[in-house]
Amino acid sequence: MPKDMRTWIRELEDARELAHITKPVHPHTQMGSLLYQSREKALLFENVEGFQGWKVLGMAPANLRHAALAYGTTVEKLIPTAAQRALSRKPTELVSTGPIKEVILKGNEVDITKLPAHIAGSEETPYIAAGLMIARDPDTGIRNIAFHRLQIKGPRKTGALIVPRHTRQILDKHEARNEPMPVSIFIGHHPLYYMAAASTGPFEMDELELAGGLIGEPVKVVKCETNDLEVPFDAEIVLEGQILPNVREDEGPFSEFHDYYVAGMGKNPVVQIDCITMRHDAIFKAIQNGSEVEGCIFHKVPFGVSVYNHIKNIGGYVNLHNLLVLPGLFGIVVQMTPRFYGEAKQVLMGVLSSPILHPKVAIAVDEDVNIFNYWEILWAINTRCNPQEDIVVIPGARMHPMDPTGFEPFPPGGPYWHRVGGKVIIDATKPPLCAGEQARKPFERLKPMGWETVRLEDFLP
Ligand SMILES: Cc1cc2nc3c(=O)[nH]c(=O)nc-3n(C[C@H](O)[C@H](O)[C@H](O)COP(=O)(O)O)c2cc1C
Ligand SMILES: [Mn+2]
pTM listed for this prediction: 0.96
Q: Pick from 163, 173, 305, 400 the residue to mutate for probing ligand 1's pocket: most ligand atoms within 8 Å of its CB.
A: 163
* Separation CA 432–CA 442 (nearest Å): 13
Distance 169 CA to ligand 2 centre (A): 10
Q: CATH number for the domain including 317?
A: 3.40.1670.10
Helix (H) or strand (E) holding 304: helix 294-311
Distances (CA, A) of 390 to 335, 343, 385, 425, 437: 16, 12, 6, 8, 21
Q: Which amino acid is at 119?
A: I
- Asked whether residue 421 is domain-assigned, the answer is yes
Q: Are strands 55-58 and 283-285 parallel, antiparallel or unpaired?
A: parallel
The total number of structural domains in the chain stands at 2
- Asked whether residue 243 is domain-assigned, the answer is yes
- Asked whether residue 121 is domain-assigned, the answer is yes
- Asked whether residue 297 is domain-assigned, the answer is no
| Atom number of ligand 1 nearest to Cα 287 | 1
Question: Residues 330-375: pLDDT tens digits?
Answer: 999 999 999 999 999 999 999 999 999 999 999 999 999 999 999 9
- pLDDT for the residue 251: 97
**What is the number of the ligand closest to the CA of 169?**
1
Torsional sign, CA 147, 149, 150, 152:
positive
Band the pLDDT of 208: cuts 50, 70, 90: very high
Q: CATH number for the domain including 51?
A: 2.30.110.10
The domain in which residue 413 lies consists of: 312-435
Q: Is the CB of 299 under 6 A from ligand 1?
A: yes
- Asked whether residue 450 is domain-assigned, the answer is no
| Atom number of ligand 1 nearest to Cα 302 | 21
> Are residues 214 and 108 part of one domain?
yes
Question: Residues 367-419: pLDDT tens digits?
Answer: 999 999 999 999 999 999 999 999 999 999 999 999 999 999 999 988 899 99
Question: Residues 117-143: pLDDT tens digits?
Answer: 999 999 999 999 999 999 999 999 999
Q: Which amino acid is at 413?
A: G
- pLDDT for the residue 142: 94
* Separation CA 151–CA 126 (nearest Å): 6
Q: Is the CB of 127 under 6 A from ligand 1?
A: no
Say which residues have a Cβ less than 8 Å from residue 48's Cβ, sequence separation at least 6. 24, 25, 26, 27, 54, 55, 56, 116, 284
Q: Is the CB of 165 under 6 A from ligand 1?
A: yes
- Asked whether residue 302 is domain-assigned, the answer is no
